[in-house]
Amino acid sequence: MSTGEPLNGAQIVLRALADQNVEHLFGYPGGAVLPIYDEIVQQDKVKHVLVRHEQGAGHAAEGYARSTGKPGVVLVTSGPGATNMVTALADAMMDSIPLVCLTGQVATQLIGNDAFQECDTVGITRQCTKHNWLVRDVNDLARIIHEAFYVATNGRPGPVVVDIPKDVQFAMGNYVGPHKIRHNTYHPKVKGDMEAIRQAVDMLADAKKPLFYTGGGVINSGPEASHLLRELVQLTGHPITSTLMGLGAYPASDKQWLGMLGMHGTYEANMAMYECDLMFCIGARFDDRITGRVDAFSPNSKKIHVDIDASSINKNIQVDLPIVGDVAHVLEDFLRIWRDRAHMPDKAASKVWWSEIDEWRARDCLKFKPNKDVIMPQYAIQRLYENCKGRETFVTTEVGQHQMWAAQFFHFDEPNHWMTSGGLGTMGYGMPAAIGVQMAHPDALVVDIAGDASILMNMQELSTAVQHKLPVKIFILNNQYMGMVRQWQQLLHGNRLSETYMESLPDFVKLAEAYGARGIRVEKPDDLDEAIKEMIEVDMPVLFDCRVANLANCFPMIPSGQPHNKMLLGEEVSDDDVGSAISDEGKVLV
Amino acid sequence: MSEPEEAIVSHTFSVLVDNEPGVLARVIGLFSSRGYNIDSLTVSETEHEKHVSRITVVSSATPMVLTQIRAQFERLVPVHKVRDLSNTERPLERELALIKVAGAGDARVEALRLADAFRATVIDATVNHFVFEITGRTSKINQFVALMEPLGLVEVARTGIAALSRGPKGIFDD
Ligand SMILES: Cc1ncc(C[n+]2csc(CCOP(=O)(O)OP(=O)(O)O)c2C)c(N)n1
Ligand SMILES: [Mg+2]
């Protein structure tokens, strides 16, 4: 819709955001975005959330996007504002999170002159965005912003950048509304090839030991995809596992759920991957943390791969049947054909397959030694989970052992309730992500399961939480180490701990108070439940310093360079096994 | 880690793109970030009114990687259409080269005679140099350059390959 009255570039930005139904904008001001900030303060459709560091704005927008299914939107200034966003963009790129990032740029006539706070934002972000634009003419601005939303959210989602020079923000130009835009080139295919889907139905019907291996693509496809997945899995009675990114798409409380797979996945999930005769991969990408050793990956299975991104197919693992399309669309067609053919599950085969799985389950791979005196990190997550049950709870994490324990011991029954940095593995993701989630879900319980090292990477965002009255709970598994790196040093480098002890950690309780938040410290297992309850009850941000066993290792584990059937189980390995688990070839793969 | 050993083959891709700023950087970035080889790359606007350019890329890799390259191209936002010309019947591939040769006496006569045989034309000359222009398949140009080597080859400029499929159908008729 053309507005008739002329608008300046900054007004066009706000108008376009409002027309895209943007309710929240995460940002940080600076010289090159002053005109846009001047418009922000004069309107109330789009609420601006001021962060403390641009990376925080990026991760907050990621958390917002992941928990709502809507794109996250950020606004930062030129130069350092833009470069501070790069990590979040790369993170969103890896995990397929729709982000629209608006950056200020120096005036067009200054571009290329090494002007103050100039950087080549489109150049720097080209490889870590799905697409980016430099707007040189104010009359292109509205179209480009609408295109940016379209590109970020269609096909495989991802981050985009729109770089807007300051003179363009001042210039007067024409506004066009979103419905006028039809993209010139980008029209990703959502419907799967029907012949391939029919073939997939036949393959599943013939399989004796089938396994569903699902990923973040199911969540990105929307709630309908999770719904259809549940229908399919329950209709067939087959086991299902998922990647880190896909947790919640299928309810963890269901008996067909085998737990997460991959490097720190469950024994039963990984053994099922190794032994299955049909692998039905839906919205996952055969990442190296999932496959382990590629030439020994699931040697006896036929593989079907559903993915909206054709470039994910046959990238790491050759599959027998690729289906390019959106998960929900493909599953809908699949289910219709499956039902039409009235396939009955092969009960006898299923019984044999499940009894094999039950034997693996009986190994109880997540077992750990309880302790009366010190809090075991796994126990802490178990108690956290039990105390959060019955509430609408969203969990974000930082990166490290705590992240893996969270994935293993906190169980998700719904999609969009688990946000973690999977592909890039970005320490410092969790707290800003929690802020984004809480912004979108003001009444829900939002917990960042954190590590003592990671939390310090974006600690400043506690101030954002306090300012915006966002009662996020930062649950720190404080082991005084960069635990995951320490574990690798033990595994790979003769337990020579190099720079992984967190000396001079702050007093987290005092730190919380300094920010105007609540601090809680717990050191004894017996005090844990009471303290967690308090954390949940207080209506303000909380830093929860949970002192846990310092040297616990995260098991089970597929050592690098090993196949799925060579897992190390925590209860069963000695320190010697741990020290020699990884071969020299495996070391380079870490 | 030993991938299944597969032969490396060379394929020619034709890619129609919106002629927007940065599109070439995107293509080059794709190849460098994923470690694909570029044997030849040409870009030029082909339909000015529609702002469309055609990129022709020759890359050598295993068939699995070549399929990847195609899929990676297809997911670039400004790409209209990708065609792997090597999957068509004997695609037409031509390259133009300018070749400077300096010398006198027998070598000079021999250079001119060979140029004639290769249908290269002289586009600049003095008594002690020629610049030849030659068009043809890459192998023909390689051969000509090799022959000029002992005859006083000074320098060579090549355009890289421009390619089309045979027959009446265009890239959108796949
Ligand atoms: C930004 C960034 N820098 C470095 C790393 C490498 N790294 C992975 S886990 C880890 C240690 C994390 O320590 P902590 O947050 O205390 O978690 P723990 O493993 O102890 O639970 C490090 C340094 C990373 N993932 N991200
Ligand atoms: Mg730690």
Nearest to B18 among A156, A185, A311 (CB): A185
Q: How far apart are CA A438 and CA A60, in angstroms?
A: 9
Q: Which of A117, A199, A467, A480 is catalytic?
A: A117
Q: Which of A93, A279, A482, A484 is catalytic?
A: A484
In one-letter notation, the amino acid at residue A542 is V
In one-letter notation, the amino acid at residue A199 is Q
Phi (first) and psi of residue A241, to 5 degrees: -130, 170
Q: How far is CA A209 from CA A213, A253, A272, in A?
A: 13, 22, 9
- Residue A571 is predicted with a pLDDT of 72
Q: How far apart are CA A275 and CA B156, in angstroms?
A: 58
| Positions in chain A short of pLDDT 70 | 1-4, 575-579, 590
This prediction's pTM: 0.95
- Residue B2 is predicted with a pLDDT of 42
- Specify the ligand 1 atom closest to the Cα of A400: 19
**A310:B1 CB<8 A:** no
Which domains does chain B possess? Answer: 9-87 (3.30.70.260), 92-162 (3.30.70.1150)
Q: Over pLDDT 90: what percentage of chain B?
A: 87
> Domain A377-547 falls in which CATH fold?
Rossmann fold (3.40.50)
Q: Which CATH class is domain A194-361?
A: alpha beta
The answer, for B23 touching chain A at a CB cutoff of 8 Å, is no
The predicted-structure confidence for B94-119, as pLDDT tens digits, reads as follows: 999 999 999 999 999 999 999 999 99
Q: Which of A166, A209, A302, A303 is catalytic?
A: A166
ipTM for the predicted complex comes to: 0.90
Closest residue on chain A to B31 (Cα): A127
Q: Do A449 and A535 contact (CB within 8 A), yes or no?
A: no
Q: Judge if A194-361 and A377-547 fold alike in CATH terms.
A: yes
- Residue A4 is predicted with a pLDDT of 60
- Residue A575 is predicted with a pLDDT of 67
A473, two tokens:
């709970």
- Residue B3 is predicted with a pLDDT of 45
The predicted-structure confidence for A431-461, as pLDDT tens digits, reads as follows: 999 999 999 999 999 999 999 999 999 999 9
Please say whether the dihedral angle defined by the alpha carbons of residues A453, A458, A460 and A463, taken in this order, is positive or negative: negative
Q: Do A565 and A556 contact (CB within 8 A), yes or no?
A: no
The answer, for B39 touching chain A at a CB cutoff of 8 Å, is no
Q: Which CATH class is domain A7-180?
A: alpha beta
Q: Is A484 tagged catalytic?
A: yes
Rg (CA), chain B: 19
- Residue A2 is predicted with a pLDDT of 52
From chain A, the residues in CB contact with B29 under 8 A are 126-127
Domain ranges of chain A: 7-180, 194-361, 377-547
- Residue A562 is predicted with a pLDDT of 87
- The residue whose two tokens read 């297992």 is A525
Nearest to A134 among B21, B26, B79 (CB): B21
Q: Do A260 and A554 contact (CB within 8 A), yes or no?
A: no
pLDDT-based confidence at residue B5 (cuts at 50, 70, 90): low
Which residues, 6 or more positions from A463, have their beta carbon under 8 angstroms from its beta carbon? A52, A515
Q: Do A67 and A417 contact (CB within 8 A), yes or no?
A: yes
- Residue A590 is predicted with a pLDDT of 65
A269, two tokens:
């999930």
Which residues are near ligand 1 (CB < 6 Å)? A 398-402, 425-428, 451-454, 477, 479, 481-485
